[in-house]
Amino acid sequence: MQSSWIFPALLIATCGMPQTLLAADDVTAMNLDDLLRVEVQGASRYAQPLTEAPSTVTVVPAADIRRFGFRDIGEALQSARGVYTSNDRVYSYLGVRGFSRPGDYNTRILLLVDGARSNDPIYDQALVGNEAPVDIDWIKRLEFVPGPSSASYGGNALFGIVNAVLWTGADLNGSRVSLDASDAGGGRASLLSGGRTAAGLDWVAGISAYQRRGGDLYFAEYDSPGASDGVARKRDGERYLKAMLKGSWQNWRGSATFSQRRKNVPTAYYGTVFNAPGNFVQDTGYHVDVARTSTLAEALDQQLRVHFGHYAYDADYPFAGDLNRDVTRADWWSAEWQLTWTGWRRHRLLAGIEARNYARLEQRNFNLSPRVDNLDDRHQGRTLGIFVQDEWRFAPGWLANFGLRLDSQTTAPTIASPRAALIWHPRDEITLKLMAGSAFRAPNDYERHYGDNGISQKGNPDLRPERIQTREAALDFTPTPTLRLGIGRYQYTLRDLIDQETDPADDLLVYRNRDRLSASGWETDIEMMFGGGWRVRGSLAWQSIDQPGGEPVNSPRRLGKLLVDGPLTSLGATLGVNLQAAGPRRSLLGSVAGHVTGNVMLRQAPRRGHGLWSLGIYNLAGNRYRDPLGAEVAPIDSLERDGRQWRLRWELEL
């Protein structure tokens, strides 16, 4: 109802289509005066707000993704200071600023693809492993903006935003083929093509398929003589198919992505039968995004965007004597209208409105034979957000940034998310930022309504939204061209945190709002360049969370990273070394030890038209380390991560 008036506004706003488009040859022959008179179509509106975000942005360019052999978004983000990952052999989880809870499906990180939200509306999940909505090789640049960003983007942006900027046709101007072979029977084939036609149509198409048979995994918890030897044999397989089509023409742009990932689950979670076949999850999603930018008047630009999303989750749980199934479906669309005004000297004003309509939010759970319906929950919902932002260069070297967003939604009261930042850049070498902001997340459909009739979990419709307030200071210092130092301090307070717990009354998992939690931390990083193109980056993070009930689960107090890369001229290759260290972490029942792991990547120097080889060895030393798991995996409390892995890749650029 509340969004009904947006559409006339959309209609009014669509005007002024270009009639002729100059060929590239015409442009190259023009003189400067004429060039400055030519009207142009926007190219990179998507990403700009992020790069100017009042935050300590980390950018992982495609060159780093290749040099270090990052295999998924989570692995790439782990190169940023203060970020860590964990894995339960179902999904990959991101930890930021010491926060990563078992039972939390990355709900407090917002994942954007070319600026469009990709978290689903049922689990709120940011998919960053092989289950991600896009292939890592389609990403031109991965941007990580830590801190609260609800002032711009609404819910979920509590700990940060991840924006995957995909390649454009003009970037690619050809095709890229890659074939991988990896450990445990893994293989992947990928094709990415793109170009720009003389008429100005920029297009990209990509498809990737991956399969991994998976090895045997030993679980001491299930090693009981007579019943099981504790080995899950070939129960860790995985496969995915991803496809993407993206185009822009004049001031229109559109994209469609598809991803389906199926993963076998070897951990016998939720009390399923250990080492049974057919224990799997499948995540399927597609997104269609259409946007148009145009200039309404002198210094006034607009962007319109319409997005359709679909998400499906299918999972089979083999229980003793019965097969249980989850079927989850979500369909939603959103429309956004954004205005940017630069007519007021030293200001850049932005205002917008975003409506999301969740047409289908469906969660079902049933036993197959005999058929027993445990859950058949169907909802709809909508949200409406309005936002304003001003970037004010009030003095040379000074920038102030203010933002405010109001969100109203069917499941929570209207919430205001303010943000303010002051940036001082007195000289080339120094940038100082002071930032404060708040962000929120409304309880999602899964937390409110998922219950399987007393088998493992129950819903809690009375959940309240959780809120975070963050204060932050960051200093960036570049004393010489070859040295950069960064240091940051943050504090945050989380109220009404939605956390999973086991209800002692019935032994069922349930989500509840918890008491206030506060945290603080230091983060520092250094980047050095050496002769011959060698580069060394390192970071340290100290983080501590203060909460009732003692130390939080899966929260290392210290994190360290060291990344070294450079050319091995004699081999005609580049070397990338990536060391990651984390302190000990508490688990639900005990703790896991700290660990250091190292990845090494050797890659031939690229030559267009010639194939090249690369070899990545992950966890080179084969260190044994563990991640804490959620209560649903009991009696397993922590899980050993993969030992040494390898990936051999052949790629060709045409």
Which of 193, 211, 282, 342: binder of other proteins (CB under 8 A)? Answer: 342
Smallest gap from residue 620 Cβ to other proteins (A): 25
- When binding is defined by CB under 8 A, the residue of 223, 373, 429, 503 that contacts other proteins is 429
> What does the alpha-carbon distance between residue 66 and residue 64 come to, in Å, rounded to a whole number?
5
Which residues inside 86-105 make contact with other proteins, applying CB under 8 A?
A: none
Q: Which DSSP string corresponds to 369-432?
A: TTTEEEEEEEEEEEEEEEEEEEEEEEETTEEEEEEEEEEEETTEEEEEEEEEEEEEEEETTEEE
Number of residues that bind other proteins (CB under 8 A): 94
Question: Considering only residues 128, 158, 165, 553, which one is a binding residue for other proteins as defined by CB under 8 A?
Answer: 165
351 Cβ contact list (under 8 Å, min separation 6): 338, 339, 341, 386, 387, 388, 389
* Binding of residue 22 to other proteins (CB under 8 A): yes
Q: How far apart are CA 530 and CA 548, in angstroms?
A: 47
State the nearest-atom distance from the C-beta of 322 to other proteins, in Å: 32
Q: How many CB atoms lie within 10 A of CB 45?
A: 17
Which of these segments, 230-238, 259-267, 475-483, 514-522, binds other proteins (CB under 8 A)? 475-483
For residue 195, the minimal CB distance to other proteins (Å) is 10
CB under 8 A: which stretch of 18-26, 180-188, 269-277, 317-325 binds other proteins?
18-26
**CB-nearer residue toward other proteins: 357 or 502:** 357
Query: What residue has token string 């023009």?
Result: 30
Burial 611-629 (b: 16+ CB within 10 A, else e): ebebebbbbbeeeebbbbb
Is 476 one of the binding residues for other proteins (CB under 8 A)? Answer: yes
Q: Does 1 bind other proteins (CB under 8 A)?
A: no
Beta strands in 428-572 (DSSP E): 430-441, 466-480, 483-495, 498-503, 508-513, 517-530, 534-546, 558-568
338 binds other proteins (CB under 8 A): no
Structure-block tokens of residue 491: 């504090």
Distance in angstroms (rounded) separating the CA atoms of residues 537 and 60: 13
Segment 297 to 316, residues that bind other proteins, using CB under 8 A: 297-301, 304, 306, 308
539 vs 559: CA distance, rounded Å = 8
Find, among 417, 420, 435, 416, the residue nearest to 390 by Cα: 420
Report the nearest approach of other proteins to the CB of residue 302 (Å). 11
Among 40, 368, 372, 593, binds other proteins (CB under 8 A): 40
Q: Which of 464, 475, 473 lies closest to 441 in space, CA to CA? A: 464
Q: Check binding of 605 to other proteins (CB under 8 A).
A: no
Length of the chain: 654
Q: Strand 585-586 to strand 591-592: parallel, antiparallel, or no bridges (unpaired)?
A: antiparallel
Q: Considering beta carbons, is residue 280 or 358 the nearer one to other proteins?
A: 358
Within residues 270-299, the interface with other proteins by CB under 8 A covers 290, 292, 294-295, 297-299
Q: What is the 3-state secondary structure (H, E, C) of 212-262?
A: ECCCCEEEEEEEECCCEEEEECCCCCEEEEEEEEEEEECCEEEEEEEEEEE
Contact, 357 vs 3, CB < 8 A? Answer: yes
Q: State in angstroms the smallest separation of the CB of 438 from other proteins.
A: 24
Q: With binding defined as CB under 8 A, does residue 572 bind other proteins?
A: no
CB of residue 298 to other proteins, shortest distance in Å: 5
Segment contacting other proteins by CB under 8 A, of 169-177, 259-267, 273-281, 622-630: 169-177
Is residue 14 a contact residue for other proteins (CB under 8 A)? yes
User: Contact with other proteins (CB under 8 A): which of 16, 278, 572, 622?
Assistant: 16
Least distance in angstroms from the C-beta of 169 to other proteins:
8
For other proteins, which stretch binds (CB under 8 A), given 17-25, 76-84, 271-279, 626-634? 17-25
Contact residue for other proteins among 5, 39, 503, 572 (CB under 8 A):
39
| Closer Cβ to other proteins, 83 or 639, answer by number | 83
Which range touches other proteins (CB under 8 A), out of 137-145, 229-237, 371-379, 443-451? 137-145
> How far is residue 578 from each of residues 18, 178, 563, 569, 623, measured CA to CA in Å?
49, 23, 5, 20, 14
Does 333 contact other proteins by CB under 8 A? yes
Q: How far is residue 470's CA from residue 543's CA, in Å, rounded to a whole number?
A: 14
Q: Find the part of the chain contacting other proteins (CB under 8 A) among 54-62, 182-190, 436-444, 458-466.
A: 54-62
CB of residue 435 to other proteins, shortest distance in Å: 15
Q: Establish if 478 lies at the interface with other proteins (CB under 8 A).
A: yes
Neighbouring C-alpha atoms within 13 Å toward the C-beta of 512: 9
Tell me whether the omega of the peptide bond preceding residue 628 falls within 30 degrees of 0, making it cis.
no
Q: In angstroms, how far is CA 128 from the centroid of its own chain?
A: 5
For other proteins, the binding residue among 26, 229, 515, 546 (CB under 8 A) is 26
Judge if the upstream peptide bond of residue 635 is cis by omega within 30 degrees of 0.
yes
**Per rule CB under 8 A, is residue 200 in the interface with other proteins?**
yes
189 binding other proteins? (CB under 8 A): no
Site for other proteins in 355-414 (CB under 8 A): 357, 359-360, 380, 393, 397, 399
Comparing CB distances to other proteins, the nearer of 251 and 411 is 251
In angstroms, the CA 516 to CA 416 distance is: 19
**How many CA atoms within 13 Å lie on the side-chain side of 540?**
4
Site for other proteins in 504-533 (CB under 8 A): 529-533
- The DSSP-derived string for 144-172 is EEES--HHHH-TTTTSEEEEEEEPPHHHH
Q: C-beta of 108: minimal distance to other proteins in Å?
A: 24
Q: Smallest gap, in angstroms, from Cβ of residue 3 to other proteins? A: 8
Between residues 5 and 218, which has the closer beta carbon with respect to other proteins? Answer: 5
